[in-house]
């Protein structure tokens, strides 16, 4: 994929990640619905409900086509959605004219310290070249007492594991092959495989400065929602 240098299995250079999301933007929402049997909307609603209170200034980082930012707005937040893929943002802009959509890098957020009351990231941190750096950036832009929610795919343990492997390692990449821009869906399983499990992600959030970190699992243990707070 041109300059798409893979420097570790499941890891792409930021430019390659951006190009990949630019290409899959037209099918992104449809693939989400298909891959999750329509449950992804419920998971985003739960993420926003955990951290957004009416009147909050909210950052949705790696906002993509904007669905989590929209949930934050429905909770009464005054929302900024940030993403580095212009094609994904184009789709987001069509969904809301009241959310402020910003093109930018989650690893170098274009906002001052302590700017937001809450921050959300949906299925985004897995793509960051520097996960810890990204979590530190979220911490920096939250005010003391501000809250973070990180929604991400994780690998289930136990009985569901073989079903997940069939679904995620075989069927999703196959669907990707027959859809335009589908390379993302062959990268997806590898990126989940290398991503820290829920306990390790909790530890990384704490290392980035967050307190009161806890998580819930949804989708038979295939999706984790972590929440935490910047200490007062």
Ligand X SMILES: C[S@@+](CC[C@H](N)C(=O)[O-])C[C@H]1O[C@@H](n2cnc3c(N)ncnc32)[C@H](O)[C@@H]1O
Question: Residue 69 or residue 145: which is nearer to ligand X going by CB?
Answer: 69
Question: How far apart are the C-alpha atoms of 116 and 159, rounded to whole Å?
Answer: 40
**Interior/surface letters 173-198, b for 16+ CB within 10 angstroms, e for the rest:** beebeebebbbbbebbbbbbeebbeb
Question: How far apart are the C-alpha atoms of 30 and 48, rounded to whole Å?
Answer: 21
Spatial neighbors of 176 by CB under 8 A, at least 6 apart, are: 31, 182, 183, 184, 185, 186, 188
Q: Closest approach of Cβ 214 to ligand X, in Å? A: 20
Residue 36: burial class (beta carbons within 10 Å; 0-12, 13-18, 19+): middle
* Residue closest to ligand X, measured at CB: 64
Q: Closest approach of Cβ 70 to ligand X, in Å? A: 10
Q: Residue for token digits 């941190």?
A: 125
Residue 146 binds to ligand X (criterion: CB under 6 A): no
Scanning 16-24, 48-56, 200-208, 224-232 for contacts with ligand X by CB under 6 A, the matching segment is 16-24
Residue 73 binds to ligand X (criterion: CB under 6 A): no
Q: Please report, for residues 81, 94, 138, 200, the alpha-carbon distance to residue 12 in angstroms, rounded to integers and kept in the order given.
A: 23, 28, 22, 21
φ, ψ dihedrals at 165, nearest 5°: -65, -45
Residue 105 binds to ligand X (criterion: CB under 6 A): yes
Q: Closest approach of Cβ 55 to ligand X, in Å? A: 23
- Please identify which residue in 71, 73, 83, 137 interacts with ligand X, judged by CB under 6 A: 83
Scanning 62-70, 72-80, 110-118, 140-148 for contacts with ligand X by CB under 6 A, the matching segment is 62-70
Question: Residue 59 or residue 68: which is nearer to ligand X going by CB?
Answer: 68
Residue 127 binds to ligand X (criterion: CB under 6 A): yes
Question: How far apart are the C-alpha atoms of 191 and 205, rounded to whole Å?
Answer: 19
Residue 122 binds to ligand X (criterion: CB under 6 A): yes
- Please identify which residue in 4, 11, 13, 14 interacts with ligand X, judged by CB under 6 A: 14
Question: Residue 145 or residue 175: which is nearer to ligand X going by CB?
Answer: 175
Longest dimension (CA), the chain: 50
Q: Coil, strand or helix: which one is 138?
A: helix
Scanning 2-10, 82-90, 198-206, 223-231 for contacts with ligand X by CB under 6 A, the matching segment is 82-90
Question: Residue 68 or residue 213: which is nearer to ligand X going by CB?
Answer: 68
Residue ranges binding ligand X (CB under 6 A) = 14, 17-18, 21, 44, 62-64, 67-68, 83-85, 88, 105-107, 122-124, 127-128
């Amino acid at each position: 994929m041109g300059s798409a240098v893979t420097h570790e299995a499941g890891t792409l250079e930021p430019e390659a990640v951006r190009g990949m999301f630019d290409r899959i933007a037209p099918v992104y929402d449809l693939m989400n619905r298909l891959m999750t049997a329509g449950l992804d909307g419920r998971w985003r609603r739960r993420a926003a409900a955990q951290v957004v209170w009416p009147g909050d200034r909210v950052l949705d980082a790696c906002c993509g086509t904007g669905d989590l930012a929209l949930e934050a707005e429905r909770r009464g937040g005054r929302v900024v959605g940030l993403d580095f893929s212009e094609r994904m943002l184009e789709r987001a802009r069509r969904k809301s004219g009241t959310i402020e959509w910003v093109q930018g890098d989650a690893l170098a957020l274009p906002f001052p310290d302590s700017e937001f009351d809450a921050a959300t990231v949906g299925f985004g941190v897995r793509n960051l070249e520097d996960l810890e750096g990204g979590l530190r950036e979220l911490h920096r832009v939250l005010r003391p007492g501000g809250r973070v929610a990180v929604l991400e795919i994780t690998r289930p343990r136990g009985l569901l594991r073989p079903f997940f492997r069939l679904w995620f390692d075989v069927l999703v990449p196959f669907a990707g092959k027959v859809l335009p821009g589908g390379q993302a869906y062959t990268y997806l399983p590898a990126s989940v495989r290398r991503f820290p499990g829920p306990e390790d992600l909790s530890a990384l959030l704490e290392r980035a400065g967050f307190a009161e970190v806890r998580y819930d699992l949804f989708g038979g243990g295939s999706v984790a929602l972590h929440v935490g707070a910047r200490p007062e």
